[in-house]
Chains A and B, each alone.
Chain A
Amino acid sequence: MALKATDLKVGDVHEEIVVENLSRGLLVMYAGTSGDYNPLHTDEVYTTQAAGYPGVFAHGMLTMGLTGKMLTNFVGDGRLKKFGVRFTNQVWPGDTLTSKATVVAIGEGEIELELATTNQDGKTVVTGSATARVD
C-alpha cells in the first residue's frame, strides 16, 4: 500500500501506540537479537546496585525500532530513504509509547516527516525525522 504524494498534505499525521506496558521480557528479547547485552537493560541487580539507576531501562535502539514500526506501517516497506532520531529521555518497563509522524514537506517523489515518540505521561522519549519515497 504505497503512499501517493497527491493524497498527502503538509500537516498530515499518522499515529500509533507501538508498545503497551513495556515488559522486561521485551528488553531481554531485544538484547538477544541486537547483540547489545549491556546489563543496564536486562540485569536489575547490576543496574540498581552497581550502576546506580532505579532499574533496568530500554535500549535506545529498541525505542527507535518501535518508532520504526510506526514509520514503515505509514510509508510502506522498502520506501525509507532516511531515518534518524535523538534519544531525549529513558524508557522504562511499564511504559506505553505512542509514535507519531507528521508530514512537514512534500517534494518530487518523496516526503519529509517529523517524528516523535512519547510515553504515557506525554514526555517525549525520541524525536527525529525521516524521508520516504512516495508515488
Chain B
Amino acid sequence: MADKVTMPIEATHIMMFARSVNDDNQIYYDAEYAKNTEVGHVVPPPTFYRSVAQFDPDYFLRPKVGEKWFGSAKGPSGIDGKPASSGGLHAEQHFEYHLPVQPGDVLTVTTKPGKVWEKESKRAGKLTFTETILEYRNQKGELVVTSRGVGVKTERPVDQG
C-alpha cells in the first residue's frame, strides 16, 4: 500500500459494504434510524476499514487504466508467462477500535511494516508470512482504528485434500 492514503468515510460506501457482507442492520443504511440508536449515527461495519484499498493509488489487486490485468480476458490470464505462484492469501486480520467513526470523517491511513517469517506446509509448500500494520487517524489527528493484517504467499495452490 502507499505510505499514506486518504479514506473519506461515505454513507453510500457503508451501505454497499453492509450489503456485501450480508448484513441488514439498519444502522448501516438509515441515518434516521441510526440517530435513535445508542451510537447516534451511522457507523461502518467492523471490517469496513480494509476497504481503504479503494483509495490506495498503488493497490495491485485492482485493474488500472492502460495496464495489463492478470485476470482472464481473451485467454485465462491477461499476462503472458504469469508467475507460477498463486499469489497472496490472507492469513490473519486484527482490528482495534479506539474512537467512533461516522460518514463525513476523513481518515488518513498510514502503513507500518511488520514482521516477516516463513513456515513449511504440507498443503502449500513454503509459506512466507508478511505482517502489515495500518493506522487510521481522523481529521482531528486522533487514532481511531488500528489494523494488523498477515498475508501469506504460498509456493503452490493450497491442496484441497
Residues of A within 8 A of B (CB): 2, 18-19, 26, 29-30, 32-40, 43, 45-46, 48-54, 59-62, 64-66, 68-69, 71-73, 76-78, 80-87, 90
Contact = CB atoms under 8 A, between A and B. Distances in A.
A116 B17 CA distance: 22
Interface of B: 13, 16-17, 19-23, 25, 27, 37-39, 43, 45-47, 50-51, 53-56, 59, 61-63, 70-72, 76-77, 82, 86-87, 89-97, 100, 148, 156-158, 160
7 smallest CB-CB distances across A and B, nearest first, come from: A65-B21, A84-B94, A39-B71, A49-B76, A60-B90, A35-B54, A35-B53
Given A72-B23, A78-B38, 12 more contacts: A34-B51, A36-B50, A37-B71, A50-B72, A62-B20, A68-B47, A69-B25, A82-B95, A82-B96, A86-B92, A87-B91, A87-B93
Contacts of A37: 61-63, 71
Nearest to A42: B71
